[in-house]
Chains A and B, each alone.
Chain A
Amino acid sequence: MTVDAKKERYNGTIQIVRDGTVENRVLNWNDNQCVGCGICSDICPVGAIEMGPLGAIFKGDIEAPKLDIDDTKCVLCGMCASACPFNAMDLKINGTSTKELPQYPKINRDITLNQDVCVLCEQCEIVCPQCAIEVERELPERKTMVLGEITINKEICVLCGICAEYCPADAIELIPGKMNALELNPYKDIVVDTDACVFCKVCEKACPHNAIEVICYKCPLANRIKKPELYKEITGKTTINKNLCVSCSWCENICPVNAIVVEKPFEGELLIDEAACNACGACIAACPCNALVFPQPEEQGQKLPKIAVNKNVCVLCGACTHACPVNALEVKRTKINMTGVTAPAWKESFEKLLK
């Protein structure tokens, strides 16, 4: 008794449903989550997944889904869902995702953040190729750190404006007068913006008439009140969106305090065939980790490769190999970081990912 699978395609998603009497299976694919690594296509036991023209898609030449699933071939076994390292594929059996079933294998990758160690430097947020990290920090207001007093003796002051010209914080302003027959002066007052003033004493030194007095509370000589303790007052939180994270470990590599630990899905290496490469840049556009780059010459006459790879931030997903029009890239995986393979046929299929 065959139950035919039904395929539906929405904007950027594909859903294949087989509603049998014993099992209801639903396979979902999401273009947004998909990085075009092609692992699903490599592992599919019935050859139902075909990758799109990835090189052109990533370079923005055409707009198309990264892959297509042939519903006449797909048997909803879910191997693609278990193998997809980026949560772009999901198989639900009677409503339960196979990712939650211990009997199904999982490619393990993770990212952990030690919030206690994190100094909220925001560098990881800036470098993350998938914008998966968000750092929110609340700093104490500047004026709580720069404390002092400034007074201008208006009786002595001649409103020459020399102090305003010197002020590095633009905190001093001369108020223009009317300059008419009733009010002759070009300036009528001088005001200090105490929020902007950093009590640096430059104006005090500059004033030819000694009309300004500045006291800096931070200054050790003016040890009137204790120094504000800044770092205790910095609060905030770093959040990682694990759904977007591709485990490239860029953040781990740059974190100045080792607050982030990334568990990568594969071990191995990426090989680039220098002779075949035509430096078209498709791989650079495809790489979800920004691990590939056109090298910039540092010295004249230096022999450089056409494409440079930073192995530390490569996840060996293989998106570049599928995007490359001349097959100049090869991913050699030596180990898959995975657990829970029970079925021998599945084990064999996953071993296909190792080369």
Chain B
Amino acid sequence: MPEHILSGIKAIVAMKLKREGRLQREIAEYLKMDRSIISHYIHGRHPSDKVMRVSEEIVNLPAEYGIKIINSMSEDRELTKKIIENIYQVKIEIERDRCILCGECLECPYNAIFKNSDHLIEINNNKCVLCMECIYICPVNALNIKKFLPNELEE
């Protein structure tokens, strides 16, 4: 069942990318899928209506909830990151005014969080897979998901 919902979400992302003018080949590589399946999705032959209904609901959830559900569907963090970025256009940001430098978040399993030379906490958004661990750990809510502008996606 989770695989079906994931497929539904992938279909939504694929169609969105198509509307943005991406090529089938690019979309297939991006979502790590077979080109033929992408072709099916783009031409309206997506998973069952039931699956699509659930997928649509997830996509329309507020990001903090949707991300949790998508992350639970697959262990492939590279893939889930792409899907999350596409659907919600979010990244994790550190609010310097709140961060107390406790270092709890440095335990990031993907080594995306580090201390700079000023001993301030920084996040490497390229390494970050949006697993949200740091957000749950932070004792002072200094880490949060934040919407970014669509043109930032390309970096």
A residues touching B (Cβ–Cβ < 8 Å)? 1-3, 20-23, 25, 45-46, 75-79, 93, 101, 103-104, 342-346, 348-349
Contacts and interface: CB of A to CB of B under 8 A. Distances in A.
15 contacts: A20-B106, A22-B107, A45-B100, A45-B140, A46-B100, A46-B139, A46-B140, A77-B102, A103-B117, A343-B100, A343-B101, A343-B119, A344-B97, A346-B100, A349-B100
Nearest to A347: B97
A104 B102 CA distance: 12
A103 B102 contact: no
A342 B117 CA distance: 11
B104 A78 contact: no
Interface of B: 96-104, 106-109, 117-120, 133, 137, 139-140, 142
The 7 closest A-B pairs by CB, nearest first: A103-B119, A77-B102, A75-B102, A22-B106, A77-B100, A1-B107, A75-B139
B107 A346 contact: no
Contacts of A348: 97
A1 B100 contact: no
A3 B107 contact: yes
A1 B109 contact: yes
Nearest to A98: B119
B107 to A, nearest CB: 5
Contacts of B140: 45-46, 345
The interface residues of chain B, by DSSP majority, are classed as loop
Q: Tell me which of B98, B118, B119, B142 has the highest count of chain A C-beta atoms within 10 A of its own C-beta.
A: B119
Q: Tell me which of B98, B102, B119, B137 has the highest count of chain A C-beta atoms within 10 A of its own C-beta.
A: B102
A39 to B, nearest CB: 16
B45 to A, nearest CB: 41
Contact of B96 (A93, A103, A344): A344
Q: Tell me which of B100, B107, B109 has the highest count of chain A C-beta atoms within 10 A of its own C-beta.
A: B100
Q: Tell me which of A76, A103, A343 has the highest count of chain B C-beta atoms within 10 A of its own C-beta.
A: A343
Contacts of A93: 103
Contacts of A20: 103, 106-107
Contacts of A343: 96, 99-101, 119-120
Q: Tell me which of A1, A78, A342 has the highest count of chain B C-beta atoms within 10 A of its own C-beta.
A: A1
B98 A345 contact: yes
Contacts of A77: 100-103
B29 to A, nearest CB: 31
B106 A346 contact: no
Contact of A103 (B108, B109, B118, B137): B118
Contacts of B96: 343-345
Contacts of A45: 100, 139-140
Q: Tell me which of B104, B137, B140, B142 has the highest count of chain A C-beta atoms within 10 A of its own C-beta.
A: B104
B119 A101 contact: yes
